[in-house]
Amino acid sequence: MPSRHQVRDRIDLFPTHTIAGYGVRAGRTLPFGATLVPGGVNFSVYSGAAAGVSVVLFAQGSRDPMAEIPVPDEFRIGAVWAITVFGLEHEELEYGYRIQERADARAGDRCDRSIIVSDPYAKVISGRNVWGVEPDWSDPYQFRSRLAFDDVDWEGDRPLRIPPEDLVIYETHLRGFTRHPSSGVANPGTYAGLIEKIPYLKNLGINCVELLPVFEFDEFDNSRVNPATGERLFNYWGYSTVAFFAPKAGYAATGAFGMQCDEFRHLVKKLHRAGIEIMLDVVFNHTAEGNENGPTISFRGLDNNTYYMLTPEGYYFNFSGTGNTFNGNNPIVRDFIVSGLRYWASEYHIDGFRFDLASILDRDQYGAPLANPPLLESLANDPVLRDCKLVAEAWDAGGLYQVGSFPDYHHWAEWNGRYRDTVRRFLRGDGGLVGDLATRIAGSADLYAARGTRASINFITCHDGFSLADLVTFNDKHNEANGEGNNDGSNDNNSWNCGCEGPTDDPEIQRLRIRQMKNALLILLTSRGIPMMLAGDEVGQTHQGNNNTYCHDSPLSWFDWSLVEHNAELLRFAQGMIELRRAHPVLRSGDHPTAFDRVGCGHPEVSWHGQRPWEPDWSPEGRLLGVMWCGHRPEGVRPDYLYVAMNAHWESHQLELPGLPVGMCWGVAVDTSRPSPADIVSPGYEVPLAQNAYAIAQRSAIVLLGIDS
């Protein structure tokens, strides 16, 4: 007999009150933020500083609110105000909150009834929809929260879960990668534009793109005109987040139509189909609100004491160097950060996150380092983030330096600044570095013994500092174009100009510079650990000696695609080195190498050599290192032998090579001193050596493979 009871609708989707002309009811406390529900929108917001909260509603693009709905106190659960408002046209809706401060306001509370604050959980922000379009500065509500459709047809897309040790990371600025007129894409400087360059990335061989900040930020933050040049300077890099749940609209070709979420997901799908992971650079160490003189956008106006590290008197601690410090280990903020990353991992299929100035996340509310920081532990053990790469820039601007000691919980990896510094100094010819270099290229066991090589993100260049081309072209930084008197940017570049500061038409110096760049790429891509390259290094991109291009939305920063042809030799070399790394798993094991013969080949897994085999020169005058790797071949049939030698000396040397089993000889795969195409040969075309010896040229590096004689 059929049931008489038919449930047609939910029993909680009708208004119980009318406020400001809208039907409303007590909302669902969870989830936080604004959520589409049948017939309306559910708003939920936390504020421990509020006596009252109003939801302020705007018709899209309207300057003045169309309604302000005070949330009845009876709708509050704890410190969370929640209300469901019916009859809203969510596609054209913008919203915010107005906070009435508690009568017993605490030192540090900065609620202001005259300010409409944005929703920290907003999935879309309106206000900077098209990059660089001057906003209406008289509009008091600059960054307007909006709702987004959350339905996605992922068409079977899943995170790629590439083993960390198999990654080759490519760090790039989303806009800068395709903004240059030479890019030839239909939508320069956008998510759609990056999609058009996926074939280039595939051809290069990288399998992970790490994007500089793509959470919504204000490119006009600290924007100014360079008084010397008249050039407009922007907040170009984006290390100043406005909204942690929203992709930057100005990076979308469809941002003007509010479709940045869909376009970004489109990018993720396309990258994954190409076998490329996507990592996001996330900036939870501070926000765009700055110090007490900065704008109140969201967190400050909601609950300043909770969201920021404050002194007992209510002033901002500044461990980020930007004016404020996000209070990551506060339980509420911790929940916010974890929720945010869960959101990106689950709703955008992001494969990993790199945390800017991550040591700040190890501090308590007063800035003291924590032995067991709950935020870092939570992230490392979160079930949604379990397969995500978590990478820490393990230092901050307050003096914490934790490379090798960042609380890892068997999950976190680190940008290995020691690797960067050692390799740079070795390349320029500093003495006494052979031992340190050996430790670095073997995966930095002194730093990461407990975690394996997967904990080490090896890099020589990144967005901070010189590009690879500039590393070999300049001794000193040249940041005059930043308008700060060349006082910004690192002074500790460990660079060498090869004999002339800046561009030169001296062919010897030009050849040396190319060779030095190849040397750097060779060392990076034959080291254990996870290599990270800076976009443009593969084609010799220069920033004219500027090592801090954070404010330049111009050709100074943009990837110049004409270099693909102009520096085809270097690009070919980079491609070849990435291919070589992929072909030889012994170079990318997740474990630190041992002195044991793991594969029964008669040689230890790793061994060190100098001009003579088995006799490395660890002395202060040593500038040459040979390393022999023995591991499994990809097909697993017989052992794989590689010999890598790096000569940073200004003289060539005769190398005596370690012996190989009978029937084998060494074949030259790479020699950075040789002109292209002999600098790197295709697999299977290694040039066999008749003798167990090789002349390694000054300031060059080689890779030899054990081949059948």
Partner 1 sequence: MSFNATLTTAGRTAMITLHGALDKDSDQEFREKVERAATLDVSELVLDMSALQQLSAAGIRAIAYARQQMPDDVQVVIASPVEQVRRTLLAADFGDSMVIRE
Where on the chain is the footprint of partner 1 (CB under 8 A)? Answer: 89, 91, 148-149, 151, 153, 155, 187, 192, 252-254, 257-260, 262-263, 265-266, 269-270
Distance CA 631, CA 704 (A): 14
Distances (CA, A) of 457 to 157, 211, 373: 27, 15, 22
Catalytic residue list contains 303: no
CB of 349 to partner 1, least distance (A): 12
Nearer to partner 1, 190 or 549 (CB): 190
Residue 203 neighbours by CB under 8 Å, 6+ apart: 575
Alpha carbons within 13 A on the beta-carbon side of 384: 15
CB of 32 to partner 1, least distance (A): 22
Per-position DSSP letters for 224-275, written without gaps between them: EE-TTT--EE---S--SEEEEEEE-GGG-TTGGGT-HHHHHHHHHHHHHHTT
Distance CA 328, CA 244 (A): 13
Nearer to partner 1, 254 or 378 (CB): 254
Nearer to partner 1, 214 or 468 (CB): 214
CB of 156 to partner 1, least distance (A): 11
CB of 150 to partner 1, least distance (A): 11
Distance CA 291, CA 305 (A): 13
**Structure-derived torsion over alpha carbons of residues 570, 571, 577, 581, reported in degrees to the nearest 10:** 160
Residue 481 per-residue DSSP state: G
Contact 351, 160 (CB under 8 A): yes
Which residues make beta-bridge pairs with 67? 57
Nearer to partner 1, 89 or 708 (CB): 89
Distance CA 118, CA 56 (A): 10
Residue 485 neighbours by CB under 8 Å, 6+ apart: none
CB of 202 to partner 1, least distance (A): 16
Which residues make beta-bridge pairs with 40? 37, 86
Contact 46, 54 (CB under 8 A): no
- Please tell me whether the peptide bond between 658 and the residue prior to it is cis, using omega within 30 degrees of 0: no
Closest C-alpha to 698, from 524, 541, 519: 519
Closest C-alpha to 288, from 279, 276, 296: 296
Paired sense of beta strands 93-101 and 17-19, if any: unpaired
Sign for the CA dihedral angle at 489, 490, 493, 496 comes to positive
Nearer to partner 1, 65 or 247 (CB): 247
Catalytic residue list contains 393: yes
Residue of 94, 263, 303, 356 marked catalytic:
356
Residue 98 neighbours by CB under 8 Å, 6+ apart: 53, 54, 56, 68, 113, 115, 116, 117
Distance CA 666, CA 694 (A): 10
What's the 3-state SS for 22-46?
EEEEECCCCCCEEEEECCEEEEEEE
CB of 183 to partner 1, least distance (A): 16
CB of 175 to partner 1, least distance (A): 16
Nearer to partner 1, 247 or 301 (CB): 247
**Structure-derived torsion over alpha carbons of residues 361, 364, 367, 372, reported in degrees to the nearest 10:** -70
Residue of 109, 303, 393, 538 marked catalytic:
393
CB of 250 to partner 1, least distance (A): 14
CB of 254 to partner 1, least distance (A): 4
Distance CA 658, CA 662 (A): 13
CB of 248 to partner 1, least distance (A): 14
Tell me which amino acid residue 579 is: E
CB of 276 to partner 1, least distance (A): 15
Nearer to partner 1, 267 or 427 (CB): 267
Residue 292 neighbours by CB under 8 Å, 6+ apart: 110, 315, 316
End-to-end CA distance of the chain: 85
Nearer to partner 1, 9 or 151 (CB): 151
Residue 284 neighbours by CB under 8 Å, 6+ apart: 241, 244, 326, 328, 337, 355, 356, 360, 361
Residue 502 per-residue DSSP state: S
Distance CA 191, CA 211 (A): 11
Nearer to partner 1, 191 or 466 (CB): 191
Residues acting as catalytic residues: 356, 393
